[in-house]
Amino acid sequence: MSSEGIGARVLRKEDKRFITGAGRYTDDMALPRMGYAAFVRSPHAHAKVKSIDASAALEMPGVDAVLDGHQLVGDGIGNIICGWMIHSKDGTPMKMGAWRALESEVVRHVGQAVAVVVADTQQQARDAAEAVMVDYEELPAVVDSLDALADGAPQIHPEAEGNLIFDWEIGDEAATNDAFAKAKHITRLEIDNNRLVPNPMEPRSALASYDKAEEHYTLYTTSQNPHVARLVLSAFYNVAPEHKLRVVAPDVGGGFGSKIYIYPEEIVCLWASKRVGRPVKWTSDRTEAFLTDAHGRDHHSTAELALDADDKIIGFRVSTAANLGAYMSLFSSSVPTYLYATLLSGQYNIPAIYANVKAVYTNTTPVDAYRGAGRPEATYLVERIIETAARERGLSPAEFRRKNFVCEFPHQTPVIMCYDAGDYEASLELAMKAIDYDGFPARRAQSEAEGKLRGIGMSCYIEACGIAPSKAVGSLGAGVGLWESAEVRVNPVGTVEVLTGSHSHGQGHETTFAQLIADRFGLPTANVSIVHGDTDKVQFGMGTYGSRSGAVGMSAIVKALDKVEAKAKRIAAHLMEAAEGDIVIEDGEVKVAGTDKKLSFTEVALAAYTGHNLPEGMEPGLKEGAFYDPTNFTFPAGTHICEVEVDPETGQVTVVNFVAADDFGQIINPMIVEGQVHGGLTQGIGQALLENAVYDDEGQLLSASYMDYTMPRADDVPSYIVDTTTTLCPGNPLGMKGCGEAGAIGAPPAVINAVTDAIGDNSMSMPASPAKVWSALQKGGMKQAAE
Amino acid sequence: MYETNYHRAGSLAEAESAIAAAEDGKFLAGGQTLIPTMKQRLAAPTDLVDLRHLGELKGISKQGDGSIRIGAGTCHADVAGSPEVQAAVPGLAALAGMIGDPHVRYMGTIGGSIANNDPAADYPAALMALGASIETNKRTLAAEDFFTGMFETALEDDEIVIAVTFPACAKSAYAKFPNPASRYAMAGVFVAKDDDGVRVAVTGAGQDGVFRAGDMEQALGANWSADAIAGIEVPADNMLSDIHGSAEYRANLVKVMAKRAVASLS
Ligand SMILES: Cc1cc2nc3c(=O)[nH]c(=O)nc-3n(C[C@H](O)[C@H](O)[C@H](O)COP(=O)(O)OP(=O)(O)OC[C@H]3O[C@@H](n4cnc5c(N)ncnc54)[C@H](O)[C@@H]3O)c2cc1C
């Protein structure tokens, strides 16, 4: 094994270009004769479009064209799809309203595009977009999912009566009701999961060009999955057949889920590039990002937990209203269903679970997967109610959890998932030690002496990652398979190119994936390059989300490497006249074990390509591909413990300590994993204390800029203590589970459990802003005074 | 941003004639408020007259009477780091150091801040509590007369702030509770005590921008201690209320910040 192999803290190869400003993002791309697109967007949350008058705009300097939905539909561009079919409990398919890339009849959220201007410069396009006169007739709007379900609510799509998209269930209702009938104690909680705006550093961008002679399109775009984008653009939006469409996702500055989907702007740029006969570029500004990037979360839930006389959990019942916004985004239907309710068993042995989820249209920005996607919502529900039950029963949070932990594997939950491996006790113990749990009462006393309140809270999360076994997700309604592909090309000089369908938008694949080759052949990572993000280069791939690039993407690379290694060994055995079984590859050399006979890796590679002396019948070359389809989800799990201090005079919450003890299975590069955990925890703390997308009753997004939407900053978070325990995942060759989302999943309930512990008010919702915490303390104070 | 004409003025006279010639001109200082507003297409001046190269607006100097004169073009970082300001008006130096982030503090200017009079800006509290005077190319104004309401000042369209003069005040302090998102003041309280008595000014919280807190001034005049404020009821009537906090919450913050400002001085 080389010093850059599995487990080594190799510095990120890609960082040189990122931190010297030499990254190449979509907006950095320029093509000859390129024009700029600006979108005309609805200022209303719900309105009829009565007319669109582009005459003044068309007269303005530099303006090439103003296009609207009539032309788009006329040219046969398809409606935007949702790629996961969900059936309601009565067996009917989900009720999907039509979503056009440019809307010309009824707009349903602020920011929805009704027309596009193409002009010579970005400013000219924007000036002209303001001059497009759209006559709207305002309709009543509704922004909250429960309000949208209420009688008499404004009807948003004719297809979905009462704004109900589906009414879905999972688990055994009768068995769960039985458990509640027998229960000795029932804990009940109303829980909201606040709506978030993803806010990747790089806003979305698209540059499309059309080659008239070849009838071929190229799209540069900010995508986490360029092949999926090509597939959907060609199969559903009728832009061009796949072989006439190249999609390139170059450097992408963060996605967090929001760049999985194929948005109206990408479709329109492609379509417009042919219509106007020049390349068309669009780059979102931050306001457009707030209004049009798919949002995350937004659930209202009621949860009930049934305990027996020994404080063992015997049943869990959940009812959730999920706000999907004005349209069904690409994977929106899977998030509050199979990515959510299948995790409601948490780390616990729960014999009976039943969940009902109603997905609802509202006049808000569409909601889809955002870092964690369903699993943060499940974990928040489970870990808040577990903590609450422990408090109600007078048990320590750790004791109550231990009593109910799953300890034997595999473990089949009542909600589909079969946990393959884990040691929940180990991470709980590690976390409690790391935060000095026993020392907490002394620290609390110290805070109290200084006029502060202190609280501690834990969260024992589990997530299903490594998304996903194709057959299983297919049976649950997914429109695609979720395998991954890889190709390992050894060049004649012995350097290596790895082509992968995974897409790196901050994850460090160029480093970790190269470490696999270093590990296998003892080659320096400098001799390896990772090729991704271009449908003309990589055969096919499903992209990066759901913490899948390690467990699924790297597994495909391992399979391809197995084939390369076997062939290299056959060649070497032939050249050195040794038995294949005696050949070992290490330190960049191919050796005959137990002798001093050896060849350099380069010599073997060269031999493969000269073809002068290969084993009888062997094809020349040293290049192998593989597809890997996982056999199960993976189940990263761990314990997060948060300690907060609250200033009772202002309500300000400060996170003073935070420990994450995670089990990610095999770790390739601990430094990169720690980075993923730090980022995830910061997003989790952001959700718990700071971030909140707020709409007013008219459907205007009040928190539509950083003046009002609180992104976490470095001084909002403590210096984290992160550590790991390891049980290998038995399902994939490297034993990897995935680490990309754990922080955002585990942190929010740990923070709120700590805040509610500090202030003694269990009703606190996210974000626990200073004003809300202060109000809660005022009520508590009044209660005390009244007693 | 809409198209606009940029003028780099080299002197006060050049700036005056450039603005007079412009159809709908605006002065540009650090650009920390004006440029983002223009980028969002919320402001569309035909002309920008850049004041950053005017010698007349530069420099911090101690006057004969001990007061401190700060040129309108002085950036927040220079005020925060000035030994003269730190010695004569420590609360002012501290306040300047709490504005925004380092980028903002090296670009944003005191003249731009007070001309803009954002109800959540920090400087207005210091000017009011210290009884500062504002010198323009036309006249000299007392702080009280300068700030006339939310985003409103007594300035005429072609009037240029040249300098702000602060009387020395060794017992001065500022306590700020930042808005979690913007980090402007949700409530910022400046307290100043000298031989003539105590002055308290509040920014960030009031519906009409910065205001003096008369009750607190009286209470502190009689008893210079944080406890003196504890008994005062801050009414919520004229407080701002938004997604970050209710009027009641802001009223509470005013009291808490006032206590903390006083406590920091004793
Ligand atoms: C990220 C960020 C955070 C911030 N945080 C804070 C904060 O915490 N607290 C706070 O108080 N402020 C904050 N600000 C605002 C900052 O202090 C600005 O510097 C200030 O509001 C404007 O000053 P400026 O020099 O940038 O003026 P500009 O933006 O250039 O101009 C602002 C206005 O003043 C006018 N003007 C400028 N100079 C003069 C003059 N000499 N005479 C007459 N009119 C003039 C301009 O015409 C314009 O209308 C923040 C700004 C940003 C971008």
Q: What is the pLDDT of residues A746-785, one digit of tens each?
A: 999 999 999 999 999 999 999 999 999 999 999 986 555 4
Q: From CA A383, how far away is CA B114, in angstroms rounded?
A: 49
Q: Does B246 touch chain A (CB under 8 A)?
A: yes
Are A768 and A647 within 8 A, CB to CB?
Answer: no
Are B75 and B158 found together in one domain? yes
Is the minimum distance from the CB of B133 to ligand 1 under 6 angstroms? no
pLDDT at A785: 47
Are B161 and B179 found together in one domain? no
End-to-end CA distance of chain A: 69
**Per-residue pLDDT tens digits for B79-137:** 999 999 999 999 999 999 999 999 999 999 999 999 999 999 999 999 999 999 999 99
Of the candidates A41, A83, A21, the residue with the CA atom closest to the CA atom of residue A329: A83
CA of B106 vs chain A CAs: smallest distance (Å): 20
Residue A654 has pLDDT above 50, yes or no: yes
Residue B261 has pLDDT above 80, yes or no: yes
**Per-residue pLDDT tens digits for A142-200:** 999 999 999 999 999 999 999 999 999 999 999 999 999 999 999 999 999 999 999 99
What single DSSP character describes residue A182? H
CA of B35 vs chain A CAs: smallest distance (Å): 15
Is the minimum distance from the CB of B34 to ligand 1 under 6 angstroms? yes
The tokens 């007392």 sit on which residue? B142
Q: How far is the CA of B77 from the centre of ligand 1 (A)?
A: 13
Q: From CA A660, how far away is CA B20, in angstroms rounded?
A: 62
Q: What percent of chain A has pLDDT over 70?
A: 99
Contact A770 B256 (CB under 8 A): no
- Residue A366 carries which side chain, given as an amino acid letter? P
pLDDT at A781: 63
**H or E stretch covering A583:** strand A583-586
Q: How far is the CA of B133 from the centre of ligand 1 (A)?
A: 19
Residue A1 has pLDDT above 80, yes or no: no
**Per-residue pLDDT tens digits for B215-238:** 999 999 999 999 999 889 999 999
Residue A44 has pLDDT above 60, yes or no: yes
Q: From CA A487, how far away is CA A261, in angstroms rounded?
A: 25
Are B161 and B66 found together in one domain? yes
pLDDT at A292: 98
Domain boundaries, chain A: 31-139+201-254+259-292, 299-467+632-786, 483-628
CATH number for the domain whose boundaries are A483-628: 3.30.365.10
**Per-residue pLDDT tens digits for A664-693:** 999 999 999 999 999 999 999 999 999 999
CA dihedral A700, A706, A712, A715 (to 10 degrees): -150
Q: How far is the CA of B162 from the centre of ligand 1 (A)?
A: 15
> Which chain A residues touch B246 with a CB distance below 8 Å?
771, 775
Of the candidates A178, A153, A177, the residue with the CA atom closest to the CA atom of residue A163: A153
Q: What angle do CA B28, B33, B38 make, to 5 degrees?
A: 75
CA of B94 vs chain A CAs: smallest distance (Å): 19
Q: Does B180 touch chain A (CB under 8 A)?
A: yes
Q: What is the number of structural domains in chain B?
A: 3
Residue of B nearest to A288 (CA): B40
Among B2, B41, B243, beta carbon nearest to A702: B243
Residue A86 has pLDDT above 80, yes or no: yes
Residue of B nearest to A690 (CA): B180
Which CATH number is correct for A299-467+632-786, 3.40.50.740, 3.30.365.10, 3.40.640.10, 3.40.50.720?
3.30.365.10
Q: How far is the CA of B72 from the centre of ligand 1 (A)?
A: 11
Contact A709 B181 (CB under 8 A): yes
> Which chain A residues touch B182 with a CB distance below 8 Å?
706-708
**Per-residue pLDDT tens digits for B150-198:** 999 999 999 999 999 999 999 999 999 999 999 999 999 999 999 999 9
CA of A451 vs chain B CAs: smallest distance (Å): 13
Q: List the beta bridge partners of residue B161.
A: B136
Among B177, B180, B245, beta carbon nearest to A710: B180
pLDDT, average across residues A366-385:
98
CATH number for the domain whose boundaries are A31-139+201-254+259-292: 3.90.1170.50
Is the minimum distance from the CB of B28 to ligand 1 under 6 angstroms? yes
Q: Compute how many other C-beta atoms are within 10 angstroms of the C-beta atom of residue B13.
A: 12
pLDDT at A350: 98
Residue A787 has pLDDT above 50, yes or no: no
Q: Which of B18, B34, B50 is the C-terminal boundary of a domain?
A: B50
How large is the ipTM? 0.96
**Per-residue pLDDT tens digits for A480-539:** 999 999 999 999 999 999 999 999 999 999 999 999 999 999 999 999 999 999 999 999
Q: Which residues contact B192 (CB under 8 A, 6 or more apart)?
A: B91, B129, B130, B169, B171, B172, B198, B199, B200
Helices (H), A261-336: 264-276, 286-292
Q: Which residues contact A616 (CB under 8 A, 6 or more apart)?
A: none
**Tokens of residue B169, six digits:** 């005040």
pLDDT, average across residues B5-10:
98
pLDDT, average across residues A208-236:
97
Residues of A with CB under 8 A from a CB of B: 123, 126-127, 130, 287, 649-652, 690, 692, 694, 702-703, 706-711, 769-771, 774-775
What single DSSP character describes residue B137? S
pLDDT at B266: 80
From the alpha carbon of B33, which atom of ligand 1 is closest? Answer: 29
- Of B8, B56, B113, the one to substitute when testing ligand 1's pocket (max ligand atoms within 8 A of C-beta) is B113
Q: What percent of chain B has pLDDT over 90?
A: 98
CATH number at residue B11: 3.30.43.10
Residue A727 has pLDDT above 70, yes or no: yes
CATH number at residue B213: 3.30.390.50
Are B144 and B77 found together in one domain? yes
CATH topology identical between A31-139+201-254+259-292 and A483-628: no
Among A650, A652, A710, beta carbon nearest to B181: A710
pLDDT, average across residues A640-653:
98
Are B205 and B222 found together in one domain? yes
pLDDT, average across residues A16-23:
95
Are B208 and B255 found together in one domain? yes
Are B69 and B154 found together in one domain? yes
> Which chain A residues touch B245 with a CB distance below 8 Å?
769-771
Q: Look over chain B and give the mean of its residue pLDDT values, rounded to a whole number.
A: 97
**Tokens of residue A695, six digits:** 């709409």
pLDDT at A786: 46
pLDDT, average across residues A13-33:
96
Domain residue limits at B18? 5-50
Contact A127 B2 (CB under 8 A): yes
Phi/psi for A112 (5° steps) reads -65, 135
Q: Which of B120, B145, B166 is the C-terminal boundary of a domain?
A: B166
Contact A708 B180 (CB under 8 A): no
Q: Look over chain A and give the mean of its residue pLDDT values, rounded to a whole number.
A: 97
